[in-house]
Amino acid sequence: MVDEVRQVGPDLYLGIGTWGFTDAQRRIPLPFVLRGPIAPCAGDIGAHKKSFDVRQAIPALHPRRKALITGASAGIGATFAHQLAASGYDLLLAARRGDRLQNLADQLSKQYSVQCEVLSVDLASSDAATVVMDHLDKLNWTIDFLVNNAGLSGHSKFAEASWSQLNGEIQLMMTTLTELTHRIAPGMIERRWGRIINVSSLAALSPPGESLLYSAIKTYVMVLSQSLDMEFKPHGVHVTALCPGFTHSEFHDVMGTRDTANHLPALMWQQPQDVVRAGIAAVMAGKPVCVPGLSNKILAAVMRPMPLWLGYLAGRTFNPFK
């Protein structure tokens, strides 16, 4: 909404209003240039209060903010795309499945009237971050909101898995995530505003079970996010590790664990909309770690203080996917 309008020239007005994350109950004041004539309101309180169609407002000092979402073709990533588009962000969606991305982009552009670009890229490749940054250069975009969401989980024991499988997990969830953050964060710091969500996992706060590398990677993501938030927050940039538990999405279909997942109690599951809403609220509030959902918070509180050997034993014993 726009709260005040001041005339700054012939048929030219400056509106002061709000723009941003209504879902997260955080709005960012921005100025808008409005070109008239603009009719006075009935019962106008002041000489400079005017009525107008806010959709005709043009940001005067700030272009529309831009967001990059990796792993955006489904699940949590696609839900981030919906919620950020609803908040007025232009989007670059990056993932392997280009057809899925394009369908999502078309839907978001039509529904929310935002610019939505897609990039089909294997984020587990060694040059993935360079490919993404080159595409941003072609668009002439700077990123204000980064969501590092792309991920997968192997269930093989470390010594039994192929190096190709393990290296793919490291590249996708550690290297590409870290490089994108490293290359995008300086611009946020220079502009003194930015938000970064790195999707970690409840596994970062829980005993390691069969997927030892996955747990280690997600712990890295959480600790990295905490460290970067401390470094960046004096410059207006916040970093949050989002640590969801079991979330309704295609993740378990892709990983081949759907049958096992279906036998888990309903109270352990969350909808992706709730996970994403909690993550956005956390990063806007400057919280470096977000564990969405009461059951996940309780589980993390119980498991975190366990000695490593006891946590490992519990993880091996009660891991439903072993």
Residues forming the active site: 214, 218
Q: Beta strands of the chain (E only): which ranges?
A: 2-9, 12-21, 26-35, 58-59, 66-70, 90-95, 116-120, 145-148, 194-199, 237-242, 246-247, 269-270, 289-290
Q: Between vectors from CA 147 to CA 81 and to CA 62, what angle results, nearest 5°? A: 75
Instruction: Find where tokens 């600790």 sit.
Output: 223
Residue type, 112: Y
Alpha-carbon span 103 to 284, nearest angstrom: 29
Angle between helices 176-191 and 212-232 (to 10 degrees): 10
Alpha-carbon span 268 to 195, nearest angstrom: 28
Q: Residue 73: beta bridge partners? A: none
Residue 307 backbone phi and psi in degrees, to 5: -60, 150
